[in-house]
Structure 1
Amino acid sequence: MKKIFSFLVLLFTSFNLFAQEIEMADKMRSEGKIWVVVGVITIVFIGIITYLVLLDRKISKIEKNL
């Protein structure tokens, strides 16, 4: 019963979060700055993926030598 109550409380609070307007995002969208944010996030994501691929190659090379 406690799990069901907790689930329902979390469910209804999440609906409230979707209904809120975010002024900062609207302002950034109207000024075109949102694309700067998207670009920075994309560059960081690509950097992390590149690092993980290179790290995987190094680890695979070390495993083959052992």
Structure 2
Amino acid sequence: MKRFFSLTAILFLVVQFAQAQSVEMAETMRSSGKIYVVVAVIAVLFIGLFFYLFSIDRRLKKIEKNK
């Protein structure tokens, strides 16, 4: 339990430190609207990866069922 609390405290400190810094590149991309393109591309990649893994899982279940 002590380990859980220490990990939570470390995670909280890391998040606080990350929020304190402002990344100039992110601000520039946000102001020009390019950040939405980056987010859309990442979302499409994750959705594609999800469907690919889901189809592999279905095929494996079918193969395991046949054996």
TM-score, scaled to structure 1: 0.76
The 5-angstrom pairing of residues 33-52 of structure 1 reads: 33-52=34-53
Q: CA deviation at 1:18?
A: 1.8
The 5-angstrom pairing of residues 16-35 of structure 1 reads: 16-35=17-36
Identity %: 52
Query: Could you list the runs of 4 or more consecutive aligned residues of structure 1 that deviate by over 6 angstroms after TM superposition?
Result: none
Residues 36 and 11 of structure 1: CA distance in aligned 2, closer, same or farther (over 3 Å): closer
TM-score, scaled to structure 2: 0.75
Q: CA deviation at 1:50?
A: 0.5
> Could you give the per-residue CA deviations for residues 4-61 of structure 1, whole angstroms, max 9, x where no partner exists?
xx86xx4686233321111111100000000110110011001110001100110011
Distance, in Å, in 1 between the alignment partners of 2:19 and 2:58 is 42
Greater gyration radius? 1
5+ unaligned residues in a row in structure 2: which ranges?
none
Q: How many residues of Structure 1 are paired with residues of Structure 2 in the alignment? A: 61
Distance, in Å, in 2 between the alignment partners of 1:55 and 1:17 is 37
Q: CA deviation at 1:64?
A: 0.8
